[in-house]
């Protein structure tokens, strides 16, 4: 059996991100079979037991995940000329506060807050931003298969054969797309459920069947729905709420 870098194994097991793993190791917060490991680059066998001490567990408990209803005109991640990143909307006046809020906004919640997945500048709806590498891996890791649901306004006709192609049979960038669930929501709006997230995937899929997208809104990621968040509004992922 071949040894694997400890930080890589920690990430694969969903304990934290690789960057967090390296930091935890440096701080002496990681134990393998009960032995403290503090040297970066350490390799272990996959069968060995990895545990984190209480300091790491407490820090992970304090990490926040934010759900934002991103409006059109904001980029998901790095700013682009003339456009602002969606994270600028994470401020107290835009927070949706339930009747019994578990968290209140703190400036520290913006530190290392990053989008877990993209939502195009001309699309709106549910965008997840998180400090937690475990959630990022769950949503955008290479083995992620979490459903993402969209409502898509379109112009153009769509015979049954082309609707079938949207569900399965199209390729992008030389790769066959995973099966999707695509159906009519009403006479000018389609409902897409995808298990992957290629760049501008829905718009490009629609182009292949001669449809023009005039509006796109993400309404669900896994078990988490956009719900009653208005455009530009955000809330914290609640304790016990899972994707």
- Burial class of residue 20 in the structure, from the number of CB atoms within 10 Å of its CB (0-12 exposed, 13-18 middle, 19+ buried): buried
Q: Please give the helix or strand (H or E) that residue 35 lies within, else none.
A: strand 35-37
Question: Active-site residue among 22, 33, 120, 173?
Answer: 120
Residues contacting residue 47 through CB under 8 Å, at least 6 positions apart? 1
Handedness of CA 164, 156, 227, 196 (dihedral sign): positive
- Radius of gyration from C-alpha coordinates of the chain: 21
3-state secondary structure of 31: strand
Q: What is the dihedral of CA 2, 6, 11, 13, to 10 degrees?
A: 60
- Burial class of residue 21 in the structure, from the number of CB atoms within 10 Å of its CB (0-12 exposed, 13-18 middle, 19+ buried): buried
Active site residue 132: no
Count of residues in the chain: 243
Q: At residue 162, what are phi and psi to the nearest 5 degrees?
A: -80, -30
**CB-CB contact of 113 with 90 (8 Å):** yes
**CB-CB contact of 138 with 146 (8 Å):** yes
Residues with catalytic annotation?
120
């Amino acid at each position: 059996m071949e040894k694997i870098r400890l930080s890589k194994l920690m990430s694969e097991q969903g304990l934290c991100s690789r960057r967090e793993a390296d930091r935890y190791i440096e701080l002496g917060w990681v134990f393998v079979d009960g032995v403290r490991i503090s040297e970066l680059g350490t390799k272990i066998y996959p069968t060995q037991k990895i545990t984190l001490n209480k300091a790491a567990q407490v820090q992970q408990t304090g990490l926040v995940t934010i759900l934002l209803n991103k409006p059109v005109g904001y980029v998901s991640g790095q700013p682009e000329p003339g456009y602002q990143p969606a994270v600028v909307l994470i401020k107290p006046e835009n927070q949706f506060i339930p009747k019994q809020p578990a968290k209140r906004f703190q400036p520290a919640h913006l530190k290392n807050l990053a989008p877990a997945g993209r939502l195009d500048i001309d699309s709106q709806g549910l965008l997840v931003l998180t400090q937690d590498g475990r959630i990022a891996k769950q949503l955008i890791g290479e083995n992620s298969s979490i459903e993402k649901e969209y409502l898509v306004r379109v112009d153009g006709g769509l015979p049954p054969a082309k609707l079938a192609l949207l569900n399965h049979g199209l390729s992008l960038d030389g790769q066959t797309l995973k099966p999707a669930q695509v159906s009519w929501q009403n006479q000018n709006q389609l409902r897409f459920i995808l298990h992957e997230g290629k760049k501008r995937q829905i718009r490009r899929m629609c182009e292949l069947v001669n449809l023009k997208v005039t509006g796109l809104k993400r309404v669900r990621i896994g078990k988490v729905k956009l719900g009653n968040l208005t455009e530009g509004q955000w809330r914290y992922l609640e304790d016990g709420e899972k994707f």
